[in-house]
Amino acid sequence: MSLISPIKDHYFEKRLFVSRIILAVAIMVLLLGIIVARLVQLQIREYDFFAEKSQGNRVRIEALPPTRGLIFDRRGRILAENLPAYQLELIPEQVPDLKRTLARLAELGLIRSEDIPRFNGLSQTGPRFKPITLRFRLTDDEIAIFANQRPRFPGVDFQPRLVRHYPDGDLTAHVIGYVGALSTADLERLDAAAYAGTSQTGKTAVEHFNESMLYGKVGFRQVVTNARGRQVPAEARDIAGSLLEGEAPTPGHNLYLSIDLDLQRVATEALAGKRGAIVAIDPNNGEILALVSAPSFDPNAFATGMSRSEFNVLQNNEDRPLFNRAVMGSYPPGSTIKPMISLAALETGATNLTRRTVCIGYYSLPGSTHRYRDWKPGGHGEVDLHDAISQSCDVYFYEISRNIGIDRMHYYLDQFGLGKETGLDMVDEADGLVPSRAWKRQAFRNRADQVWFPGETVIASIGQGYMLASPLQLANATAALAARGKRFTPHLVAAFEDPLTGRRTLIAPERLPDVNIKNDFFWDSVLSAMHDVMQSNTGTARAAGRGAPYQMAGKSGTSQVISISQDEEYDEEQIDERLRDHALFISFAPFDNPRIAVAVIVENGASGSRVAAPIARAIMDEYLGINAGVDADAL
Q: Answer yes or no: 335 catalytic.
A: yes
Residue ranges matching CATH 3.90.1310.10 in the chain: 61-257
- Collapsing DSSP to helix, strand or coil, 447 comes out as helix
Cα–Cα distance measured from residue 363 to residue 356, given in angstroms and rounded to the nearest whole number: 15
Considering the entire predicted model, what is its pTM? 0.82
Cβ count within 10 A of residue 8: 7
Q: How confident is the model at residue 322 (pLDDT cuts 50, 70, 90)?
A: very high
Phi first, then psi, for residue 424 (nearest 5°) are: -55, 145
CATH superfamily label, 61-257:
Penicillin-binding protein 2a (Domain 2) (3.90.1310.10)
Among 335, 342, 436, 556, the one annotated catalytic: 335
Of the options 3.40.50.1100, 3.20.20.140, 3.20.80.10, 3.40.710.10, the CATH number for the domain spanning 262-305+323-634:
3.40.710.10
Query: If we measure between CA atoms, which residue out of 106, 200, 104 comes closest to residue 152?
Result: 104
Amino acid at 3: L
What helix, strand, coil percent values describe the chain, rounded to 5? 40, 20, 40
Per-residue pLDDT at 57 exceeds 70: no
Contacts of residue 27, defined as CB under 8 A and 6 or more positions apart, other chains included, come to none
Q: Is the dihedral of CA 383, 386, 391, 393 positive or negative?
A: positive
Mean pLDDT of 533-561: 91
Assess contact for 385 and 529: CB atoms under 8 A. Answer: yes
Residue ranges matching CATH 3.40.710.10 in the chain: 262-305+323-634
DSSP-derived letter for residue 158 is E
- Buried residues in 101-118 as b, exposed as e (16+ CB within 10 A): bbebbbeeebbbeebbee
- The continuous run of DSSP H or E covering 28 comes out as helix 10-40
pLDDT of residue 1: 47
The backbone region for 583, taken as left when phi is positive above 0, alpha when psi lies in -120 to 50, beta otherwise, is beta
pLDDT of residue 633: 36
Mean pLDDT of 543-570: 79
CA atoms within 13 A on the CB side of 580: 19
pLDDT tens by residue, 534-547: 999 989 999 999 98
pLDDT tens by residue, 150-197: 888 888 887 788 889 999 999 999 999 999 888 778 877 888 778 877
